[in-house]
A and B are shown apart, each in its own frame.
Chain A
Amino acid sequence: MIRFGPGNLRIPRFERPVYIVAGGLTDYRKRYPEKNTCQLCVEALRMAVEENDLKVEPEVFRRMVNWCVYSQFADHFGDQLLAAAKVHDYLGFDPLGNIEVKTGGATGGSAVLAAAQAVASGYASCVPVIGWERMDEVSTKVGNSYIASAACKDFESELGWMYASYYALMAQRYQFENNVPRETLARIACKNHDYARYSPYSQNPGQYTIDDILNNEIVSHPLSYLECCVMSVGAAVLIVADEETAFKLTDHPVRLSAICGGTHTLRTADRRHMPILLLPHESQETYRHYFEGERRDWPGFSSFLASRMAAYLAYNMAGIKNPLDDFDLLETHDAFTISDVQTYEDIGLRPYGKGREFIESGDAYFEGRLPTNLSGGLIGTMHAVGATGIFQLVEILWQIQNQWDKFHADPKRWERYGKTKPADFRSLQVKNARRGCAISHAGTGSHVTCAIMEKA
């Protein structure tokens, strides 16, 4: 769709407020044969229910649940159809109703959206969202082939069986149109690997220089290994509730003021030129000179309409005037360094064509204007696909509740996962964090959700 009618851009609304009460994670590993999927999901659920200072005992909580949402990207990986039924049973929630959500990389975000819809409509009042992925049953090459099954199998997958290549095509075009230095992309990878060093949950922490990133082996030109997300095993849980339930469970629930979704063609190739959809702080003037030089179309290969659509709806739903001013922290779906720069523009941190400035200015760093992916993101910490969008919101929840230190700084938490807290550990708790945003993203931008959480 390239021309909108009035109904297409209707701003969503919740019939009643939706709250996030608690979150739980596992650690994330490339291979995790020690625990099966059901065990990982229990572990994340127990952390959510037992370690978030809820005012009720776990057994009382269990009796408050009335609907569950499950989040797993690919049945291929776990090799178990209806895995949600197995997990739901294992968690002891039968015979309550549940639904399993699947929208590729954005599955976690979409699952939270489904839970929010259930709570906002009055259908449910207390909804655990449980996400996981088990990507270690196959080799990395087969894993990449499975993931590439989420490109168009008739016309695309055969061309590489490798999603990084489909992003590399975008990267090359983006650089051609916008002349972004390779060093700027590398800085994103440095940042996220570094923040992962302060997370006991992280799979791929590291202190790298820009040269380390650029001289690393190439996956698909121009992207190097260290610029690509990890492939993980692990789970994440978020508890979504209505107002009455939320305050019964905790004195510090966080409000989910908006969560909205957008989509675009599965094949990047099929994205036709259209007028730029403007965010609240943009105008026609913002893009008066955009279509000059090498830029001939929008969204083309340089931008994600799905992200722009999700942000457009969520910003209008939550009353966001300017994301740089209104958010205190952000989690993006940094599957690849290039997609992160594209996303900065799609969600309005900089106008299209100028996303590089968000990194180059220092805005994206801890104690910068809008710290981004303090969790370590997908590049540094995890991409257990079905858990990812949930993981992002768990991290934002803890930040807004001023609980980041509790869940990251305690040496016992590191020991729990067989790790030692680094000697140069530092707190990444954002002072007075009031409002955060998370972008969950699939395909080359086939599905995107934008969630906004704020202090209640």
Chain B
Amino acid sequence: MIELQDVAYSYGGAELFTGLSLTLAPGSFQFLTGPSGAGKTTLLKLCYGDLRATGGVVSLFGMDAATMGRDDVALARRRIGVVHQDCQFLDHLPVAENIALPLQVAGRADEAAGDLDELMAWVGLRGQAAQLPPQLSGGERQRAALARAVITSPDVIIADEPTGNVDWEMSQRLLSLLVELNRMGKTVLIASHDMNLIRTAKSQVSANVLRLKDGRLQTGVAL
């Protein structure tokens, strides 16, 4: 689905990483760990076409990201659900409309009707549907972002520290949502440095752990 071959990324003359390869196979569940500043967010951004590699080949659904136009990237994004570290919404629209936004921009708004209600209940935000995003708590925002990321039923879900500012109970709840999506066949990639969370996940699903440190990516890291 998403493949990085011998990828390098540098900015301002400084090389963040080089010779990095990664394959997100369909249905796989992977964690990305590593110290802060190692380039986890950058690596994720390469995976959804938000940044372009300065070396090597990034292919998204069989297309070379370097040759993709802005519309190609937009279309690829419809197959990748992204949960940012700092979730951003359209602050003037209610939560429910924000969650349905990916369907809206894809011209599939008519699909939202039934799914939206179910999804809101699933992430426990039914009561907040009419609220505006700035009124939500940190955990609610994370869950809203997750709901928005999965409403189009994307092939891949990429989450950057999705449990960054929520308590342990909420982290587990978000994790169980992601595990459930993975069981439905979605590819999941989560950047996190929460080792407890990763351990919990490994008990529920066969997750691979990647570690990005000093510009190198190790796979199959044991905890």
Q: Does A associate with B in a complex? A: no
A binding-site residues for B, Cβ under 8 Å: none
B binding-site residues for A, Cβ under 8 Å: none
